C-alpha cells in the first residue's frame, strides 16, 4: 500500500514502523518513500542505493539539510506497532518508534506540505545507520554525490525528546590484550594465566572517573568502559591470551588522535589495538542560522552524549544538531515507545521555523 503523506505524522509513524527495515533490509521502505515523494511536484528526487534525497530548488539565500535513517536494529516481537497509554500519556509502541521512524515521519509530512519554505531544503532518508560505518547510506551518498551536501545548516532527526541536542561525542573502540603460557590446569604453576593478567586492565577501568567537558557552552560527559572480554581454550587449560574490548566516548573538543593517545595512556604497559574511531561534532550553535532555529522551536540546547551522523555534516564544516521525537534512553530497547505529544511538538517546531511563521 502506498504511503499516504496527507495522513498525520503519527499515522505515518505507525505506517513506516509496521514496514520492517532492519539494517540491510530497507529496500521495501525506501521504495515506498521514493514513490511517495516523486509524486510531489515541488521536489527534485534522487536515489542512491536505498537512500532517497528530495530537495527544493527555490533559489533561497540559505539551504538546510534535514536527514533521518530508515533502518532499525533487529525486531524482537515489537512489530506491528500498537497504541498504549502510560501514566495518562498516549504513545505509539514498537520497534523504530524512537530510533528513528517518528522523526522520519515528521520529515516526510513536512516534505510533502512545505512547498514554499523560507530556506531551500535537502531532505535525506538513508539506510544502514545502525551498522558499520562502511555501509552507512549517508557516508556512501557523500562519497558518490558530495554536491548534495552543500548546506548552511543540518538537522538530524535522531531522538532527543523533542529538544535540540547540539553536536555529539566521538567514539573509539580498542582491544587491550594480555598474553601468557598454556599449561594443564592441574599444573597451573607451569603456565602463565593471561586472564589473570587482565586484572589490572579491569582495575583501571573500575577506578576510571569520566570527565565532563564544556564545549561551546554545553557539558559533554565522557565514558570509558569494557564492553567485551574474551579468553580461554578449554576447561582444563591455562589460557595464553585474553582480550578486553573497551569503548571510549570522548567530548567533541578532542580529535581522534587525542582520543587514541588518552586510551593508550590509560592502558600504558599493555598491547592496545585501536579497532574503530569516529570523531565527534562540536555543537555548532554559534552559527546565526542555528541560533534562529533554536529560538524558533523554543528549545534549550543540550549535549548529545552518543555518536550520530551530525558528525558527518560537522566534518564538512556544516553546523548540525539533533532534533527529533523520542527518548534516547529507549532507543534499541524492546519497549521502544514515542509520545504522540513529542511527534506533534517536533512537527510544529520544524514547520514554524521552515515556513517563517
DSSP line for 244-286: EEEEEEE-TTS-HHHHHHHHHHHTTTSEEEEEEEE--B---TT
Write the DSSP string, 271-340: EEEEEEEE--B---TTSHHHHHHHHHHT---EE--S--THHHHHHTT--EEEE-SS-GGGTT-TT-EEEH
Is residue 234 scored above 90 in pLDDT?
A: yes
pLDDT in tens, 290-333: 999 999 998 889 999 989 999 999 999 999 999 999 999 999 99
pLDDT in tens, 330-349: 999 999 999 999 999 999 99
Q: Look at residues 87, 154, 66 and name the one whose alpha carbon lies nearest to residue 347.
A: 66
Alpha-carbon span 311 to 321, nearest angstrom: 9
Task: Please give the pLDDT value at position 286.
Answer: 87
64-82 mean pLDDT: 97
Q: How many CB atoms lie within 10 A of CB 271?
A: 11
SS3 111: helix
Question: Which residues, 6+ apart, have CB-to-CB distance to 187 below 8 Å?
Answer: none
Alpha-carbon span 259 to 248, nearest angstrom: 8
Cell numbers representing residue 213 in the block: 567537558
Name the band, by pLDDT with cuts 50, 70 and 90, for residue 134. confident
Alpha-carbon span 172 to 174, nearest angstrom: 7
Which residues make beta-bridge pairs with 45?
A: 54
pLDDT in tens, 248-278: 999 999 999 999 999 999 999 999 999 999 9
With a pLDDT cut of 90, the percent of the chain lying above it is: 94
Alpha-carbon span 78 to 332, nearest angstrom: 11
**What distance lies between CA 352 and its chain's CA centroid?**
25
Is residue 357 scored above 80 in pLDDT?
A: no
Q: Is 346 exposed, middle or buried (0-12, 13-18, 19+ CB in 10 A)?
A: buried
- Active site members: 71, 129
For cell 551536501, name the residue.
149
SS3 221: strand
Q: Taking each helix axis as running N to C, give the angle between helix 102-113 and helix 9-17, from 0 to 180 degrees, rounded to the nearest 10.
A: 130
Answer yes or no: are the C-beta atoms of 217 and 300 closer than 8 Å: no
136-165 mean pLDDT: 95
Alpha-carbon span 245 to 267, nearest angstrom: 12
Question: Which residues, 6+ apart, have CB-to-CB distance to 58 below 8 Å?
Answer: 116, 117, 120
End-to-end CA distance of the chain: 34
Is residue 102 scored above 80 in pLDDT?
A: yes
Alpha-carbon span 218 to 194, nearest angstrom: 42
Task: Please give the pLDDT value at position 284.
Answer: 84
Average pLDDT, the chain: 96
Name the band, by pLDDT with cuts 50, 70 and 90, for residue 133. confident
Answer yes or no: are the C-beta atoms of 323 and 157 closer than 8 Å: yes
Task: Please give the pLDDT value at position 306.
Answer: 87
Is residue 236 scored above 80 in pLDDT?
A: yes
Name the band, by pLDDT with cuts 50, 70 and 90, for residue 127. very high
Amino acid at each position: 500500500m502506498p504511503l499516504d503523506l496527507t495522513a498525520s505524522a503519527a499515522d505515518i509513524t505507525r505506517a513506516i514502523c509496521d514496514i520492517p527495515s532492519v539494517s540491510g533490509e530497507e529496500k521495501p521502505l525506501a521504495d515506498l518513500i521514493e514513490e511517495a515523494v516523486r509524486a510531489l511536484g515541488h521536489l527534485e528526487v534522487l536515489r542512491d542505493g536505498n537512500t532517497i534525497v528530495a530537495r527544493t530548488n527555490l533559489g533561497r539565500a540559505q539551504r538546510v539539510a534535514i536527514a533521518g535513517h530508515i533502518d532499525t536494529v533487529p525486531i524482537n516481537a515489537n512489530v506491528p506497532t500498537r497504541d498504549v497509554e502510560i501514566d495518562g500519556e498516549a504513545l505509539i509502541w514498537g520497534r523504530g518508534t524512537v530510533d528513528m521512524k517518528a522523526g522520519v515521519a515528521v520529515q516526510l509530512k513536512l516534505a510533502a506540505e512545505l512547498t514554499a519554505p523560507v530556506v531551500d531544503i535537502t531532505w535525506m532518508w538513508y539506510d544502514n545507520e545502525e551498522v558499520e560505518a562502511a555501509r552507512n547510506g549517508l557516508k556512501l551518498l557523500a562519497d558518490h554525490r558530495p554536491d548534495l551536501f552543500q548546506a548552511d545548516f543540518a538537522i538530524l532527526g535522531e531522538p532527543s525528546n523533542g529538544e535540540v541536542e547540539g553536536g555529539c561525542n566521538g567514539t573509539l573502540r580498542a582491544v587491550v590484550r594480555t598474553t601468557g603460557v598454556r599449561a594443564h590446569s592441574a599444573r597451573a604453576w607451569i603456565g602463565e594465566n593471561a586472564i589473570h593478567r587482565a586484572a589490572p586492565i579491569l582495575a583501571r577501568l573500575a577506578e576510571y572517573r569520566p570527565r565532563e567537558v564544556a564545549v561551546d557552552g554545553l557539558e559533554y560527559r565522557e565514558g570509558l568502559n569494557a564492553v567485551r572480554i574474551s579468553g580461554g581454550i578449554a576447561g582444563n587449560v591455562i589460557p595464553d591470551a585474553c582480550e578486553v574490548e573497551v569503548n571510549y566516548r570522548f567530548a567533541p573538543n578532542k580529535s581522534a588522535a587525542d582520543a587514541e593517545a588518552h586510551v593508550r595512556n590509560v592502558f600504558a604497559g599493555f598491547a592496545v589495538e585501536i579497532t574503530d574511531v569516529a570523531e565527534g561534532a562540536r555543537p555548532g550553535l554559534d552559527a546565526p542560522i542555528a541560533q534562529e532555529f533554536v529560538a524558533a522551536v523554543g528549545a534549550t540546547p543540550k549535549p548529545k552524549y552518543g555518536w550520530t551522523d551530525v558528525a558527518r555534516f560537522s566534518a564538512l564544516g556544516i553546523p548540525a544538531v539533533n532534533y527529533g521525537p523520542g527518548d534516547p534512553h529507549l532507543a534499541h530497547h524492546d519497549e521502544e515507545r514515542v509520545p504522540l505529544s513529542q511527534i506533534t511538538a517536533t512537527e510544529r517546531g520544524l514547520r514554524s521555523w521552515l515556513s517563517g511563521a
